[in-house]
Amino acid sequence: MSVAAKLPANIGSTDNLPKVAWAKGCYLYDVDGKQYIDGSSGPAVYSIGHANAEVNDAIKAQLDRVAHGYRYNFTSDALEELTDIIRARCGGTLRHMVYVTGGSEAVESCLKLALQYHAARGEMSRRRFIARERSWHGNTLGALSVSGFLERKEAFEGSLLDVSRLSPVNAYRPIASATADTTGEAGARELEEEILRGGPETFAAFIFEPVVGAAGGCVPAPPGYAKRVREICDRYGVLMISDEVMSGAGRCGTWRALEADGVEPDLMSVAKGLAAGYLPLGAAIYSSKVADVIQRAHGAPMTGHTFTGHTACCAAGVAVQKIVQREKLVERVHANEAKLKSMIADALRGVEAVGDIRGRGYFIAAELVADRKAKAPFPAKHKLFMRIRQQALANGLICYPVGGNVDGINGDVVILAPPYNATDAELDEIVSKMAKSVKEVLTASGLN
């Protein structure tokens, strides 16, 4: 049976959605005047809230001067300023970037830069990628190929790249031979075994999410995992790509998500929080090691698009990042992580279905299970995560429930990813509306 046939109907339905009219800060309003608090920054994007006048003014000022200086004709103040900001935020040798318009393009660019690096070194045998199950890297063919997300891939099988696949690395659901404490090491060992099995000379890069988003529900890499991955990649000449489209730009309480693990990747994708949804913007950021090789052999990256370095998009990114820096929002996210987790735990206390509460920074999820001891998921037929999304909307809350995190089909997780500048009162409202929606759905389904 196909994956689609096993999944509940209307999984991606956008029928009957409310029509958005306007927004301010953490709140959105539909055309009927109903108010919604944005508990997940939409899909973990609107990190400084909606309709920020300073950002809108900066975009307008840029549009009034010039909307877009095409990358082969011009650089611009906005592009150069954003590059300086990102370099300072990344630190280390992550000083090079290709700007794009979203997460899939950022990942696609990282994959291509990795291939170009090996080509520049004369190692044309290094063409394959390694990635993990239960991961999401985007919807273009390359990014989709490295993703481990059954439902979103099935219709395209046959035209996707042949990618080596490793187990997810999740302390709550350890690899079969491991425990919560040893699953990081077991995951790293799998990487090394796969490199040796396929032959190190065949692999271009390993790509992973430091904190898995849509496909797992805020699953952080266990402590020590990223460092072991770094060592293994270095040992075999395989590049390390950190996909920080969802977890980066401050979302996890450090500007780079992998910063918390003390690791610098060779390449890194960012998007969502970079311009916080004010205009479409992403970047593939890469180290001097990669840049020097490409520069010497080819002069420049052989990837990019018409709207690469779009001037108004860069101006939006500059304005957003200035606010994030000036208002110390990454520091706020870092300082509030424990508080947000315990607010969620308190609000869901007594709900038998809560199996795990996890994540980093303002990227925290609650996983729901039918049996806490066995960690057994609810069968997908209950459509729990979709019903929670609907109930939350009815209760005036936007959150980010995801499904299929256990085996690609079953599993229900509710992600909260508030705007970094949400007030304490707004955080309270987000958490209590989330808990209310979860309880109402479980009760109505006879599952509590």
Ligand X SMILES: Cc1ncc(COP(=O)(O)O)c(C=O)c1O
Q: Which residues bind ligand X (CB under 6 A)?
A: 43, 102-104, 107, 136-139, 209, 213-214, 243, 245-246, 271
Least distance to ligand X, CB of residue 168, Å: 14
Least distance to ligand X, CB of residue 282, Å: 7
Least distance to ligand X, CB of residue 241, Å: 11
Pick between residue 138 and residue 148 the one whose CB is nearest to ligand X: 138
Pick between residue 43 and residue 224 the one whose CB is nearest to ligand X: 43
Least distance to ligand X, CB of residue 181, Å: 26
Q: Is 224 exposed, middle or buried (0-12, 13-18, 19+ CB in 10 A)?
A: middle
Pick between residue 192 and residue 243 the one whose CB is nearest to ligand X: 243
Contact 240, 229 (CB under 8 A): yes
Pick between residue 216 and residue 377 the one whose CB is nearest to ligand X: 216
Q: Look at strands 239-243 and 354-360 and give their pairing.
A: unpaired
Q: Look at strands 211-212 and 94-100 and give their pairing.
A: unpaired
d(CA 337, CA 218): 13
Pick between residue 271 and residue 386 the one whose CB is nearest to ligand X: 271
Q: Which two tokens stand for residue 387?
A: 């019903």
Least distance to ligand X, CB of residue 272, Å: 6
Residue partners of 317: CB distance under 8 A and separation at least 6 = 78, 82, 85, 274, 275, 281
Contact 365, 413 (CB under 8 A): yes
DSSP one-letter string for 319-379: HHHHHHHHTTHHHHHHHHHHHHHHHHHHHTTT-TTEEEEEEETTEEEEEE-SBTTTTBPPP
Pick between residue 135 and residue 391 the one whose CB is nearest to ligand X: 135
Contact 43, 272 (CB under 8 A): yes
Least distance to ligand X, CB of residue 227, Å: 21
Pick between residue 150 and residue 246 the one whose CB is nearest to ligand X: 246
| Neighbour-count burial for 328-349, b at 16+ CB within 10 Å, e otherwise | ebbebbbebbeebbebbeebbe
Pick between residue 25 and residue 361 the one whose CB is nearest to ligand X: 361
Least distance to ligand X, CB of residue 78, Å: 20
Written as one letter, the residue type at 261 is D
Q: Is 446 exposed, middle or buried (0-12, 13-18, 19+ CB in 10 A)?
A: exposed
d(CA 270, CA 210): 12
Least distance to ligand X, CB of residue 385, Å: 16
Contact 24, 50 (CB under 8 A): yes
Closest-by-Cβ residue to ligand X is: 103
203 sits in which H/E element: strand 203-208
Contact 311, 121 (CB under 8 A): no
Contact 110, 96 (CB under 8 A): no
Least distance to ligand X, CB of residue 34, Å: 26
d(CA 400, CA 385): 9
Least distance to ligand X, CB of residue 317, Å: 14
Pick between residue 252 and residue 434 the one whose CB is nearest to ligand X: 252
